[in-house]
Chain A
Amino acid sequence: MHKIKSSQRFVLFVVFGFILFLLSNRVDELRVYQGATAAVFVIAISSIILLTGYSGQVSLGHGALMAIGAYSAAVAHNELHFSILVSFFIAVLASAFGGALLGIAAARLSGPYLAGTTLALAIGLPSLANQFHVLGGEQGLAFDVGSPPPRLGSEFTQYKWYFWIAALAALIAIWLLSNVLGSRYGRNWRAGRSNEVAAALLGINTARSKILAFTLSAGLAGLAGAVLAMIIGTVSPSAFPLALSFSLLTGAVLAGISTLSGVMIGAVVLVSIPELADAVANRIGSSEKITTNLPGFMVSALLIVTVLFLPNGPVEHHRERKAKKAAKKAL
């Protein structure tokens, strides 16, 4: 694997950000909105890739960590009157703290036990919102980051504003994460993942390394939650169902769980699949029984096909094929 210097990486991100900026002025409002949602998924999926792909831990409860971030941001903004930027930071810190606690428990647990614990968390945590008045119950809290600044012009839509914020948050998050993954910590995680005993012999504190991964991953999830809350303007328990945690895993697998480079693919697929499925269902246009259930069927079938035929994601698949070809040529 060739190495990118961190200065080169920075330039890469700036260029990509500029392309996104140009793109946001070209496409219609629906696509801009979907782009903002995709940015949320980019952040959330990268948090799964960090946790599972690098540190080898499984979480079925990232929806709950997103909820912690979303609620913290809303409470910080509405009740404590912090600015949006500070609220986002608080969201990251609060989720990271929750993630650290979970990580301490997780460091003792192996795969299925951790999966069980995080699943139970995903089911149990959102119901807390109904126990505390400040969390707004089932209808939730409003989270209003305000209109775009007037100097951007009257044609500048709210969704474009959300997209700019979300895309910027995603770019910064991914840039930071890719730097961390390229550092000593990233290597420690990979070492611990492939062989815990060997890693421990090399002097890596695997438990601490795992807890750190969980904390960082949760912080990213919290950011994703806060950005999601901004886009849908509210925070409520029903926005963080178990299905959300599952779809993040799905996105990570579609992206290729062991590498960050496919994260965009996962996010775009997650956002576009329901619309595509709806379109196909309408094209076929048979009985209501079929059209209602076709989207669910297609998403699930896609999942199965992906894990069967592209288990390491499209990017890794492409890389492997290239490597094989190169190897053949060398022979």
Chain B
Amino acid sequence: MKAMNRRKLISVSAVLAVASLTATAVPAQAAEVGVSTSEIKLGMTLPMTGTASLGYNKIPGAAKAYFDYLNANGGVNGRKITLIVKDDRYVPTEAVAKTNELILKDKVMALLAPLGTANVKAVASSVNPAKRGVPVLFVNTGFSGFADVKKYPTTYAILPSYIMEAKIMGKYIAENFAGKKIGLLYQDDDFGSDALAGFKTAGVNFAVKVAYASGSQGAAAAAGWITKFKAAEADVVILFGVSSATSAMLGTAAVLKYAPQWMLGSVGGDATTIKLTGVPAGVLYNAIGFSPVPATTDMNDEYVKLFSDIYAKAVPGSAFDLNVLLGMNSAFMTAQALKAAGTNPTRKSLMAVLNTQGATLANSALSPVGYSGTSHVGLTGYWVGKYSPTGDLAPLGGTYVTYTTDSGAGAVVKSTYKRPAMPAKGLPN
């Protein structure tokens, strides 16, 4: 075991030595901000502390884990990727301040995976990355507006919109739960109102809708929600909230022996996260779930297998959950786009790659991203699954069948997307 580790170490350092030799032998022209002969600097702001940081504070560790793996394997064309992370505490003022530091002081090449609609909007309007030509890659929110190229020309959405998800859920309800009383738990802000808009398009009629104020999702509140769903005799209850709301709801439902047919939205539906908060696995059993990426427990999936191996080594003791998978996936896509952007990548060439080849960049998601010169819409599809007796989400019928739609009035259809095979060792090719 030890000997093997040493051998690995030697081979890795040999690769590094060769890489650094080639880097010094052929001095690359560093003509872009944040790109030197030996490194590419990226920046990220997101909540690392405060109640809004729950779960999301694992994203930087996940992205760094992938970049470290990549750097140890030669980086991108010999350049290693450095990710600078700043805590914005989910406050727009701080997001603007920290992004200004990243762009004006740290001089990063691009911003990666910022979080929160209000924050990204404030940054777009104040820092104005579009005017500065700074790419904002893979925004971590389901707000559909960031796909608008005219308004946000350098911003790239990644998650499917909440509207798309609600429409796909609506189709499933129409096909499987016709005539049943449907209940909905939603967050009392844009996250929820987008969901309501999607369900409306899909023609879902609710017997009861329960709104919760963000930050109130404790046990006492959850007991209140259940009381309302019970009073309305809902057969199916959709939980379209954040993880802490789903956990509070399912945990409280367990002790109140309340067991309707659950349906979990992807934002709060990650089994690993829910189970870590003490919800018994049995409560999840038979719930319907949706996800744009493979289940985080699906070790047969080559991406999940590789990413979870890398993560387990980089951040020992931390569970591999949906936020980790999404964080690593964004890092992975960034690396590929940088590689495709030429031997001396620039902000422009990076965005050109995303606009022209974005849809063919390999990544773990089960629907393609919709990047083009006229749209920066991210993923567009979800697959439907059921939670197993051990509380893990698995696709209905054993294979991933992805449904795709848009954020408007378009129909929900089965996707024909065949995910390309993962590049060798998960390194950009």
Binding site for B on A (CB under 8 A): 28-30, 33-34, 37, 127, 130, 137-140, 142, 144, 158, 228, 231-234, 236-239, 241, 243-244, 274-275, 278, 288, 292-293, 295-296
| Distance (whole angstroms) from the CB of A184 to the closest CB of chain B | 37
* Chain A residue at smallest Cβ distance from B86: A278
| Distance (whole angstroms) from the CB of A136 to the closest CB of chain B | 9
A236 in contact with B105 given A30-B100, A137-B193, A139-B118 (CB within 8 Å): no
Is the Cβ of B93 less than 8 Å from the Cβ of A228?
Answer: yes
Is the Cβ of A232 less than 8 Å from the Cβ of B126?
Answer: yes
B96 touches which of A29, A142, A232 (Cβ 8 Å): A232
Is the Cβ of A234 less than 8 Å from the Cβ of B49?
Answer: no
Is the Cβ of B125 less than 8 Å from the Cβ of A232?
Answer: yes
A137 in contact with B86 given A144-B125, A232-B122, A232-B126 (CB within 8 Å): no
A140 in contact with B86 given A30-B101, A158-B128, A238-B92 (CB within 8 Å): no
A130 CA to B190 CA in the complex, in Å?
8
A130 CA to B193 CA in the complex, in Å?
10
Which residues of chain A have C-beta atoms less than 8 A from B61's C-beta? 288
* Chain A residue at smallest Cβ distance from B118: A236
Is the Cβ of A138 less than 8 Å from the Cβ of B93?
Answer: no
Q: Which 3 A-B pairs have the closest CB atoms?
A: A233-B125, A138-B189, A30-B104
Known contacts A130-B188, A137-B193, A238-B118; can you find 6 more A-B pairs with CB under 8 A?
Answer: A37-B93, A137-B190, A138-B191, A231-B126, A239-B118, A288-B61
Is the Cβ of A30 less than 8 Å from the Cβ of B93?
Answer: no
| Distance (whole angstroms) from the CB of B201 to the closest CB of chain A | 19
Binding site for A on B (CB under 8 A): 48-49, 57, 60-61, 86-87, 89-94, 96-97, 100-101, 104-105, 116-119, 121-122, 124-126, 128, 143, 188-191, 193, 213-214
A271 CA to B57 CA in the complex, in Å?
24
A243 CA to B89 CA in the complex, in Å?
10
B48 touches which of A138, A275, A292 (Cβ 8 Å): A292
Which residues of chain A have C-beta atoms less than 8 A from B213's C-beta? 127, 130
Is the Cβ of A234 less than 8 Å from the Cβ of B87?
Answer: no
A140 in contact with B89 given A28-B104, A127-B213 (CB within 8 Å): no
* Chain B residue at smallest Cβ distance from A131: B188
Is the Cβ of B92 less than 8 Å from the Cβ of A236?
Answer: yes
A138 CA to B214 CA in the complex, in Å?
10
Is the Cβ of B117 less than 8 Å from the Cβ of A241?
Answer: no
A142 CA to B91 CA in the complex, in Å?
16
A139 CA to B189 CA in the complex, in Å?
8
* Chain A residue at smallest Cβ distance from B64: A288
A33 in contact with B100 given A140-B121, A234-B92 (CB within 8 Å): yes
A81 CA to B124 CA in the complex, in Å?
22
A306 CA to B237 CA in the complex, in Å?
52
| Distance (whole angstroms) from the CB of A174 to the closest CB of chain B | 21
Which residues of chain A have C-beta atoms less than 8 A from B101's C-beta? 30, 275, 278
A239 in contact with B92 given A233-B126, A234-B118, A288-B61 (CB within 8 Å): yes
| Distance (whole angstroms) from the CB of A204 to the closest CB of chain B | 39
A236 in contact with B188 given A33-B100, A275-B101 (CB within 8 Å): no
Is the Cβ of A29 less than 8 Å from the Cβ of B118?
Answer: no
Which residues of chain B have C-beta atoms less than 8 A from A296's C-beta? 49
| Distance (whole angstroms) from the CB of A218 to the closest CB of chain B | 20
Which residues of chain A have C-beta atoms less than 8 A from B60's C-beta? 288
Which residues of chain B have C-beta atoms less than 8 A from A127's C-beta? 188, 213
- Interchain residue pairs with CB less than 8 A apart (13): A30-B105, A34-B97, A37-B93, A137-B190, A138-B214, A140-B121, A233-B122, A234-B126, A239-B93, A244-B93, A274-B94, A292-B57, A296-B49
* Chain A residue at smallest Cβ distance from B193: A137
A37 CA to B127 CA in the complex, in Å?
13
Is the Cβ of B118 less than 8 Å from the Cβ of A293?
Answer: no
A295 CA to B98 CA in the complex, in Å?
13
| Distance (whole angstroms) from the CB of B417 to the closest CB of chain A | 30
B116 touches which of A158, A233, A238, A295 (Cβ 8 Å): A238
Is the Cβ of B91 less than 8 Å from the Cβ of A243?
Answer: yes
Which residues of chain B have C-beta atoms less than 8 A from A37's C-beta? 93, 97
Which residues of chain B have C-beta atoms less than 8 A from A239's C-beta? 91-93, 118, 122
